Amino acid sequence: MTEEVMEQTQFEPKFAEEWKKNPMKKPKLKALIVNTCVGESGPRYERSKEILRQITKREPVDRQAKESIRGFNIRKGEPIASLVTLRGEEAGKALKRFLYAYDYEVKYSSFDEQGNFAFGITEHVDIEDAPFDPMLGTIGFNVVVKIERAGYRLKYRQRKRQSIPKKHLISPEEAMEYLVTEFGVKVI
């Protein structure tokens, strides 16, 4: 870890030695979920879906309304949102692009108890190398970053599913240190 990054974050590297001794304890970026919701179907929804497709280079999945809301003209089952899940190396590259919109700064309050964090982007043109088409306009979206370590498969597998022991869970401080070392993020 560079000295500049240490000065920016004011974190002591507590977990780096432990990660060197036991590489399986080092956290990794599991998934990056990009979600946009316009609250209505129709042309505005289709434009937002196209922008999400251009940014992520993946086909977005439709999300339907869970209940009807008469005041907003939303019917149950109507597609009103779309999302894309990125994994692996593609997720790391996309996260760097999305953090560029925030000058590589993440709020301390954005982290949850499991070490995951989320942030919102108000306009997609703030992203590095984001395409802009005046016919489509601009949209905002939410970005959720899921951080895990090796062994979390126990929680999701089909057979003999088990819970993760508490000592194996990632703390918010551990996730912050991982972001500082791997992505050069400043936690404020």
Q: What is the pLDDT of residues 21-49, one digit of tens each?
A: 988 889 999 999 999 888 778 888 888 88
Q: Which two tokens stand for residue 80?
A: 């009103």
Strands (E), the chain: 28-37, 61-64, 79-87, 105-106, 117-121, 141-148, 186-187
The CATH class for the domain spanning 3-187 reads alpha beta
Residues 6+ apart with CB under 8 A from 150: 24, 28
Higher pLDDT, 164 or 4: 164
End-to-end CA distance of the chain: 18
Average pLDDT of span 80-89: 91
- As a whole number of angstroms, the distance between CA 5 and CA 113 comes to 24
Q: What is the pLDDT of residue 2?
A: 45
Residue-averaged pLDDT of the chain: 84
pLDDT at 5: 45
Among 66, 61, 65, smallest CA distance to 78 is for 65
* Confidence check: pLDDT of 7 > 60: no
> By the 8 A CB rule, do 139 and 51 touch?
yes
CB 106 within 8 A of CB 117: yes
- Residue 28 has phi, psi (to 5 degrees) of -145, 160
Q: 28-37 and 141-148 as β-strands: parallel, antiparallel, unpaired?
A: antiparallel
Question: Would you say 121 and 95 are in contact if contact means Cβ atoms under 8 Å apart?
Answer: no
Q: Which of 55-69, 70-84, 106-120, 126-140 has the lowest mean pLDDT?
A: 126-140
Predicted TM-score (pTM) of this structure: 0.82
Structure tokens at 10: 């004011």
> Which residues are 98's β-sheet partners?
none
User: How far apart are the C-alpha atoms of 39 and 62, rounded to whole Å?
Assistant: 12
> 94 and 81 in contact (C-beta within 8 Å)?
no
Radius of gyration of the chain (CA): 19
